[in-house]
């Protein structure tokens, strides 16, 4: 009897959570949410399935999700197997002709298809593409010293609108098309920011392996302003792999994205908590034009 009462309490709490989600469901109806899924955030098959389930639920309730993935650790693994040395300069992989072939094979092949398949297994309809498809992301070379590393220069997001119209979830590998037929390796955060800006997305969620941006005391900041980002970067509090994320956040909000959230992709239901509950998750950086959204 006691057990049943506890069970009832669980059901009541579940019903309350659903009921409280209504204003959030209404807010995000038909919204565009770009999700950067980093290689370190991917986890094991169960965690991948959990992520895919959240994405399918998001679409079921009216959101247009777009996944832009990374895969740095998987690229490292393959380069090591092939005996190809690799180094990073300012968070970007120095990419010669042999390396870019491996990057494309790993990102567009194994990593992209793993995510596509996970979403489809949960009942969604996902299609894998890279920035080269339909000229989605045309790039210029970032810096000759980095080889085939690209900076997004011209975005053509029409193909994504077509996919939204067909209730299809785009899963995008961060490769760009060069103007002379080259393939460019693009940092996953940079690609996600450029795609989100081209869509004027309502949210860009950058999923990583920490709970958010931490201050000097190591506490996660629930909200962070562009000025705070600039100051904390100058002071070295924001460092390493967090720099491309906060830089992406600044570029994205300047490009018209309403808000960017940096959060832990390994936490269960991270995306749902962020979008559909009052609790949110991680650190939010809001666009200046939208103080209350
Ligand atoms: N101020 C900060 N707050 C949180 N993490 C930080 C900060 N400064 C540096 N980092 C580092 O940034 C890392 C996230 O970047 P990275 O490992 O490149 O992520 P991903 O592989 O998910 O793209 C964190 O694991 C942390 O070590
Ligand atoms: C230019 C550059 O550095 N590209 C990245 C692309 C993958 C990526 O960004 O993966 P994560 O998001 O998992 O780190 C790379 O070669 O590792």
pLDDT of 94-115, one tens digit each? 999 999 999 999 999 999 999 9
Q: Which atom of ligand 2 lies closest to the CA of 186?
A: 1
Element (H, E) at 193: helix 188-199
209 in contact with ligand 1, CB cutoff 6 A: yes
Question: What CA–CA distance (Å, rounded) separates 53 from 197?
Answer: 25
Q: Does the pTM of the predicted model rise above 0.80?
A: yes
Judged by its nearest atom, the ligand closest to the C-alpha of residue 148 is 2
Question: What CA–CA distance (Å, rounded) separates 174 from 185?
Answer: 7
Q: Could you tell me the residue ranges of all domains in the chain?
A: 22-286
The answer to whether the beta carbons of residues 183 and 100 sit under 8 Å apart is: yes
Give the side-chain half-sphere CA count within 13 A for 246.
Answer: 26
135 exposed, middle or buried (CB, 10 Å; 0-12, 13-18, 19+)? middle
Sign, CA dihedral 160-166-172-178, equals negative
Tell me, which fold does domain 22-286 have in CATH? Carbamate kinase (3.40.1160)
38 in contact with ligand 1, CB cutoff 6 A: yes
Residue positions forming the annotated binding site for substrate = 71-72, 93, 185
Q: Which atom of ligand 1 lies closest to the CA of 73?
A: 21
239 in contact with ligand 1, CB cutoff 6 A: yes
Question: What CA–CA distance (Å, rounded) separates 188 from 204?
Answer: 13
213 in contact with ligand 1, CB cutoff 6 A: yes
Q: Which of 4-13, 234-243, 249-258 has the highest mean pLDDT?
A: 249-258
The answer to whether the beta carbons of residues 33 and 192 sit under 8 Å apart is: no
The share of the chain scoring above pLDDT 70, in percent, equals 97
- Measured by CA distance, the residue closest to atom 16 of ligand 1 is 241
């Amino acid at each position: 009897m006691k057990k049943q009462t506890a069970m009832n309490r669980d059901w009541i709490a579940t019903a309350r959570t659903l009921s409280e989600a209504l204003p959030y469901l209404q807010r995000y109806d038909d919204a565009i949410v770009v999700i950067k899924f980093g290689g370190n955030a991917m986890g094991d098959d169960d965690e991948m399935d959990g992520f895919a389930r959240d994405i399918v639920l998001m679409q079921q309730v009216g959101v247009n999700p777009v996944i832009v993935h990374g895969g740095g650790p998987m690229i490292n693994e393959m380069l090591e197997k092939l005996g190809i040395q690799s180094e990073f300069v300012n968070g970007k992989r120095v990419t010669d002709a042999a390396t870019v072939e491996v990057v494309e094979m790993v990102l567009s092949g194994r990593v992209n298809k793993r995510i596509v398949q996970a979403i489809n297994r949960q009942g969604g309809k996902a299609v894998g593409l890279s920035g080269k498809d339909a000229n989605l992301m045309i790039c210029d070379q970032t810096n000759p010293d980095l080889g085939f590393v690209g900076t997004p220069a011209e975005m053509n997001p029409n193909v994504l609108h077509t996919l939204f119209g067909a209730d299809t979830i785009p899963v995008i590998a961060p490769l760009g098309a060069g103007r002379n037929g080259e393939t460019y390796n693009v940092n996953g955060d940079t690609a996600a920011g450029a795609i989100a800006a081209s869509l004027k997305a309502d949210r860009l969620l950058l999923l990583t392996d920490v709970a958010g941006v931490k201050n000097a005391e190591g506490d996660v900041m629930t909200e962070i302003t562009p000025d705070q980002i600039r100051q904390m970067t100058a002071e070295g509090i924001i460092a390493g792999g967090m720099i491309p994320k906060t830089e992406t956040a600044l570029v994205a909000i300047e490009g018209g994205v309403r808000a960017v959230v940096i959060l832990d992709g390994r936490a269960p239901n991270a995306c749902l908590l962020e979008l559909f509950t009052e609790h949110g998750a991680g650190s939010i950086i809001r666009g200046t034009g939208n103080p209350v959204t």
